[in-house]
Amino acid sequence: MDIRSLRKELGLSLEAFGAEIGLKSRGQVHDLETGNRSASVSVALAIERLSNGRIPAESLNRDVALVRAANDAASDRKAAA
């Protein structure tokens, strides 16, 4: 699933979808949908939430993947202790 498909599935305009994910203009949403803009961490997490995990935040922002990997490693170390 891609961002545009999600927005259409939810029946949201560019403006309404932007409001849901923390973007202020329809142009920002359009740029995100077309790949001309990268998602910030907060926007990536909002899209993951709206898609019920069908669009993983990690696929939209590499920093999310790095933080989650670090948290998983810390949890593993804690469990092993």
Top-confidence residue, 7 or 80: 7
Locate 3 and state its tokens: 């961002």
pLDDT of residue 76: 83
C-alpha angle 9-12-18 in degrees, rounded to nearest 5: 120
- In the predicted structure, residue 81 carries a pLDDT above the cut 80: no
Residues 23 and 36: beta-carbon distance below 8 Å: no
- 10-17 long-range contacts, CB within 8 A, separation 24+: 10/50
CA atoms within 13 A on the CB side of 74: 6
Q: Which CATH class is domain 3-80?
A: mainly alpha
Residues 5 and 17: beta-carbon distance below 8 Å: no
Q: CA–CA separation, 49 vs 64, rounded Å?
A: 13
Q: What is the pLDDT of residues 22-80, one digit of tens each?
A: 999 999 999 999 999 999 999 999 999 999 999 999 999 999 989 988 888 888 888 88
Domains in the chain: boundaries: 3-80
